[in-house]
Chains A and B, each alone.
Chain A
Amino acid sequence: MALYYGSWLILFSPLFSFAVIVFGTRVWDLLSRPVKATAAQREEAHEESDIHYIKKEGPRGEEEVLEDDEDPKVPYLTMGAKASGYVAIVIVGLACIYSWILLLNTAGVISIAPPLPASGVTIFSYNWFVQPGGLVSYVITFRIDTLAIAMMTVVTTVSLLVYFYSQGYMENSAGYARFFAYLSLFTFSMLDIVFAANFLVIFIGWELVGLSSYLLIGFWINKAAKPAEDRPSPASAAIEAFIANRVGDVGFIIGIMILFANTGTFDFATLAGSGPHSVTHAFAGNLGLLTLAMILVFCGAIGKSAQVPLHVWLPSAMEGPTPVSALIHAATMVAAGVYMVARTYPLFLAAGPQALGVVAWVGAITAIFAATIALTQYDLKRILAFSTISQLGYMFVGLGVAGAEYGPGPGMFHLFTHAFFKALLFLGAGSVLHAMHHALHRETQDMRYMGGLAKFMPVTAITFLVATLAISGFPFFSGFFSKDTIIGLTFDRGDYALYIITLLTAGLTAFYMLRAYILTFGGKGGEFGGLWGGPYRGAAGVPGVPWGRLENDQGVAHEGTPHESPLTMTIPLVLLAIASIVAGYWFGFFSYVYPPAPVLNFGAILTDWKTWVGVLVSFIGLGWAYYLYCVVGWVAVGNVVYNNPLLNFLHRVTLHKYYVSEFYALLIRYGVLGLSHVEAAFDTYVVDGIVNGVAALVRGAGRDLRHVETGRVQAYMIGFFGGVAVLAILVFVLVTFVQ
């Protein structure tokens, strides 16, 4: 049992590494940086890394400034910076090993400790505020059970691989140590969510991952927006992410409050149990209220996991560094919503069927919505972002249709496999972008400048292809098992509309993922019928691309050739590729996470007709993408689309993401800001009016009463004797008539 109780180390070790980096190694790094490089050092650095100085007109005349101030670089990393990286990686590595040990132990593969009880083990509990009467008790409690162990394994593994990858991706960056500090903070926050045993703690972690996401998306502080490419600045993308999460959190908090008000507790186990404080007891005659509460709790997941309508922040979040996109916006943070629903699954089951119905339908609508948008995007990371949104929709569909028979199993299984292949896709994209940046000396994510990269970057291309096939549900890759299970469940439950939607989305997913692969790595005229190599477009782009040749600020287009990324970046790719294939074969996942669920039967899967319908649909998608982009060629396809009015219209609508962001901007401008103008007017005219009015009243009274003092004696005598007259009357009246 000591094995379980020691797992608090997994939880708090990233926090420890954050503290060490922020107060130790980063300070060391900052103190040991050279003040200013000499000309000779600059010359040397110019050749080896990305430091390029250019002559520019500045406030003090012509001076030499960094070419790329958006992503400030240093000529070499100091020991302090490298140490930050090592500290983070070592600690997360240890945590990863520990969680794998836990996983293998509880799955029965190895046997170091006794098996975990079904209700989990409380590893840490702190009474934050407990009222003696027992009415209110806020305790910080961390608990592990099999669901948590599965999730923490995913989190720590992907974290470790991303940290390792960041060493190569963020090389020579000026904020290297800061990056690892933020990554450690994020890992801690995510583990807080995983280990949480009550709503309070999960909310703390919820907000902390939001904070870490904000810090990491906006990592490049000085980077400007690129409106020509429809890309916001990282700072505004970070704010957008935080606010979209916050909007979802409103519903989340209200849902938690409803639950707390009726049951008196936040604890998951107590709420899900059968005691006097459980939901079944407290909402006995009031099932509608419980359903409403659970739908509101799901609102938090809508915000965090970027479902429609709060999906707008995830494409913008691609402005952050690619390892961030891989870790946070593919594998872990956006999966926090799914995890939270899985955690509170007994509450969803206890509520009416509408709660899970809402979950499933929101997921389905999001899946197809995002899939249609991803069909026409040019930005590589944006396609992956919409793919993430779409796959998260799948996870929620899986959670929604599973019911009490399968529990959170199907949704969590798709989360499990998706984490690996999506992280792989993003890291592969990062490798591509890194190479393109080196080649073109200009940061771009547009696929129209790529093409045929497979012959320059073979490892990246192979792993990307593996991930593409996994996400498309190609047989015997991991996505095949997780996705088709969900699609089959929708049919088994009788939700034929959901079945059609999810099936269609699977086809669309296959199409756009292969399109992304071909446009980046292949092209018409390459080997294997266009799948490997082909024409490399480079800085010239596609003829007729709106902003022409890619030139830097000086009007020079650099025409280097891309090359494969260093080992620190390709090793994680390979490892993740292996995981993408193998992870699907853990058939005991459902029963591992939710003991009453049945074990997946490999043979039953192969013989089920629904599986092959799904495979057929994804083959249609793959085949159509292959035909369009390898056989017909991209330029020809583009001409057909632009010349056909209907296709052109659809293309434009999906390219602009159905104009949802523009709609929100209008809503905020006229709704929120309009209301704020009303309130500002109220404050200015009513509140300030009262305050200023009192002052004006006093001032006016003073101004008018001044005239009493005329300086003329006769006026004063009038006042004097007028008073005498009044007194005379008064005395007379009183004396005569009042006895």
Chain B
Amino acid sequence: MGLTLYHFVALGAVLFCIGLYGAISKKNAVAVLMGIEIMLNAVNITLVGFSFFNTVKPYSTFLTGQIFAIFIITVAAAEAAVALAMIISIYRKRSTVDVGEIDMMRW
């Protein structure tokens, strides 16, 4: 059968949806963050897959997907740090990490 691009895209899609489910339906803020991390990883997998199966010349574009993945990893790490700092700060103020209770922007 051999590996084709479709395998990796499908894998990425499945992972993305699992991560999306976790981000939408979890009450714990850290669990939501974990779902987001899964989503980012799914995107990374898809990008690197595209870069591997790339047939477009010139040579310099072959690894664009991997460069993209590097930057995503970087930014994801920074974002995880800041998000977790926020969660801790909210926990100190409200004694809860339930995202359903953080609704001060409601009508």
A–B interface present (Cβ within 8 A)? yes
| Cα(A711)–Cα(B106), bound, Å | 4
Q: Check B24–A709 contact: CB distance below 8 A.
A: no
B86 on the interface (CB 8 Å rule)?
no
Q: Check A721–B20 contact: CB distance below 8 A.
A: yes
Rounded to whole Å, the gap between the CB of A360 and the closest CB of chain B is 81
Q: Check B107–A712 contact: CB distance below 8 A.
A: no
> Which B residues lie within 8 Å of A607 (CB)?
none
Residues of chain B from 54 to 107 with CB closer than 8 A to chain A in the complex: 99-100, 102-107
**Complex interface bits, A199-237 against B, C-beta within 8 A gives 1, otherwise 0:** 000000000000000000000000000000000000000
| Cα(A672)–Cα(B107), bound, Å | 52
Once A721-B20, A721-B24 are accepted as A-B contacts, the answer to whether A714 and B100 lie under 8 Å apart by CB is yes
- Which residue of B is nearest A706, CB measured? B107
- Which residue of B is nearest A722, CB measured? B24
> Which A residues lie within 8 Å of B103 (CB)?
710-712
B4 on the interface (CB 8 Å rule)?
no
Query: Which of the residues B20, B23, B25, B105 comes within 8 Å of A711, measured between beta carbons?
Result: B105
Interface size bucket, A side? 10 to 19
Q: Check B25–A714 contact: CB distance below 8 A.
A: yes
Once A714-B25, A714-B99, A714-B100 are accepted as A-B contacts, the answer to whether A709 and B32 lie under 8 Å apart by CB is no
A718 on the interface (CB 8 Å rule)?
yes
A707 on the interface (CB 8 Å rule)?
yes
A713 on the interface (CB 8 Å rule)?
yes
| Cα(A179)–Cα(B70), bound, Å | 107
| Cα(A710)–Cα(B106), bound, Å | 5
| Cα(A713)–Cα(B25), bound, Å | 11
Residues of chain A from 693 to 727 with CB closer than 8 A to chain B in the complex: 706-707, 709-714, 717-718, 721
> Which A residues lie within 8 Å of B105 (CB)?
709, 711
Rounded to whole Å, the gap between the CB of B86 and the closest CB of chain A is 12
Q: Check B24–A712 contact: CB distance below 8 A.
A: no
Q: Check B106–A713 contact: CB distance below 8 A.
A: no
Q: Check B32–A714 contact: CB distance below 8 A.
A: yes
> Which A residues lie within 8 Å of B99 (CB)?
712-714
Most chain B beta-carbon neighbours within 10 Å: one of A707, A710, A711, A717? A711
**Complex interface bits, B6-28 against A, C-beta within 8 A gives 1, otherwise 0:** 00000000000000100111000
Rounded to whole Å, the gap between the CB of A540 and the closest CB of chain B is 85
> Which B residues lie within 8 Å of A714 (CB)?
23-25, 32, 99-100
Rounded to whole Å, the gap between the CB of B102 and the closest CB of chain A is 7
Q: Check B25–A712 contact: CB distance below 8 A.
A: no
| Cα(A721)–Cα(B24), bound, Å | 9
Residues of chain A from 656 to 712 with CB closer than 8 A to chain B in the complex: 706-707, 709-712
Rounded to whole Å, the gap between the CB of B42 and the closest CB of chain A is 14
Once A712-B99, A713-B99 are accepted as A-B contacts, the answer to whether A718 and B24 lie under 8 Å apart by CB is yes
> Which A residues lie within 8 Å of B25 (CB)?
714
Once A712-B99, A712-B100, A712-B102 are accepted as A-B contacts, the answer to whether A717 and B23 lie under 8 Å apart by CB is yes
| Cα(A128)–Cα(B28), bound, Å | 89
> Which B residues lie within 8 Å of A712 (CB)?
99-100, 102-103, 106
> Which A residues lie within 8 Å of B102 (CB)?
711-713
Q: How many A-B residue pairs have CB under 8 A?
A: 31
> Which B residues lie within 8 Å of A707 (CB)?
107
> Which B residues lie within 8 Å of A717 (CB)?
23-24
> Which B residues lie within 8 Å of A718 (CB)?
24
Residues of chain A from 13 to 28 with CB closer than 8 A to chain B in the complex: none
> Which B residues lie within 8 Å of A710 (CB)?
103, 106
> Which B residues lie within 8 Å of A709 (CB)?
105-107
Rounded to whole Å, the gap between the CB of B63 and the closest CB of chain A is 29
| Cα(A380)–Cα(B32), bound, Å | 103
Q: Check A711–B104 contact: CB distance below 8 A.
A: yes
- Which residue of A is nearest B26, CB measured? A714
> Which A residues lie within 8 Å of B100 (CB)?
712, 714
| Cα(A503)–Cα(B103), bound, Å | 99
| Cα(A714)–Cα(B99), bound, Å | 8
| Cα(A718)–Cα(B105), bound, Å | 17
> Which A residues lie within 8 Å of B106 (CB)?
709-712
| Cα(A718)–Cα(B24), bound, Å | 7
> Which B residues lie within 8 Å of A721 (CB)?
20, 24
| Cα(A721)–Cα(B104), bound, Å | 22
| Cα(A709)–Cα(B106), bound, Å | 6
Rounded to whole Å, the gap between the CB of A292 and the closest CB of chain B is 69
| Cα(A706)–Cα(B100), bound, Å | 17
Rounded to whole Å, the gap between the CB of B26 and the closest CB of chain A is 8
| Cα(A709)–Cα(B103), bound, Å | 10
Rounded to whole Å, the gap between the CB of B103 and the closest CB of chain A is 3
> Which B residues lie within 8 Å of A706 (CB)?
107
| Cα(A594)–Cα(B104), bound, Å | 98
> Which A residues lie within 8 Å of B23 (CB)?
714, 717
Rounded to whole Å, the gap between the CB of B40 and the closest CB of chain A is 15
Most chain A beta-carbon neighbours within 10 Å: one of B20, B23, B102, B106? B106
Most chain A beta-carbon neighbours within 10 Å: one of B23, B100, B102, B107? B107
| Cα(A713)–Cα(B100), bound, Å | 8
> Which A residues lie within 8 Å of B107 (CB)?
706-707, 709, 711
- Which residue of A is nearest B107, CB measured? A706
| Cα(A721)–Cα(B103), bound, Å | 20
| Cα(A709)–Cα(B107), bound, Å | 6
> Which A residues lie within 8 Å of B104 (CB)?
711
| Cα(A718)–Cα(B99), bound, Å | 14
| Cα(A713)–Cα(B107), bound, Å | 14
Rounded to whole Å, the gap between the CB of B10 and the closest CB of chain A is 15
| Cα(A714)–Cα(B101), bound, Å | 11
| Cα(A709)–Cα(B104), bound, Å | 11
- Which residue of A is nearest B17, CB measured? A721
- Which residue of A is nearest B23, CB measured? A717
- Which residue of A is nearest B103, CB measured? A711
Rounded to whole Å, the gap between the CB of B60 and the closest CB of chain A is 32
- Which residue of B is nearest A703, CB measured? B107
| Cα(A382)–Cα(B32), bound, Å | 99
Rounded to whole Å, the gap between the CB of A286 and the closest CB of chain B is 73
| Cα(A711)–Cα(B100), bound, Å | 9
> Which B residues lie within 8 Å of A711 (CB)?
102-107
| Cα(A414)–Cα(B106), bound, Å | 91
| Cα(A315)–Cα(B102), bound, Å | 84
Rounded to whole Å, the gap between the CB of B73 and the closest CB of chain A is 23
| Cα(A707)–Cα(B103), bound, Å | 12
| Cα(A584)–Cα(B49), bound, Å | 130
| Cα(A711)–Cα(B99), bound, Å | 10
Rounded to whole Å, the gap between the CB of B52 and the closest CB of chain A is 25
Rounded to whole Å, the gap between the CB of A714 and the closest CB of chain B is 5
| Cα(A439)–Cα(B104), bound, Å | 90
> Which A residues lie within 8 Å of B32 (CB)?
714
Rounded to whole Å, the gap between the CB of B65 and the closest CB of chain A is 22
| Cα(A714)–Cα(B105), bound, Å | 13
The 10 closest A-B pairs by CB, nearest first: A711-B106, A711-B103, A711-B105, A706-B107, A709-B107, A712-B103, A717-B24, A710-B106, A714-B24, A712-B100
Chain A positions near chain B (C-beta within 8 angstroms) = 706-707, 709-714, 717-718, 721
Chain B positions near chain A (C-beta within 8 angstroms) = 20, 23-25, 32, 99-100, 102-107
- 18 contacts across the A-B interface (CB closer than 8 A): A707-B107, A709-B105, A710-B103, A711-B102, A711-B104, A711-B105, A711-B106, A711-B107, A712-B102, A712-B103, A712-B106, A713-B99, A713-B102, A714-B24, A714-B32, A714-B99, A717-B23, A721-B24
Extra contacts, 8 of them, besides A706-B107, A711-B107 (Cβ < 8 A), are A709-B105, A709-B106, A711-B102, A711-B105, A712-B99, A712-B100, A714-B32, A717-B23
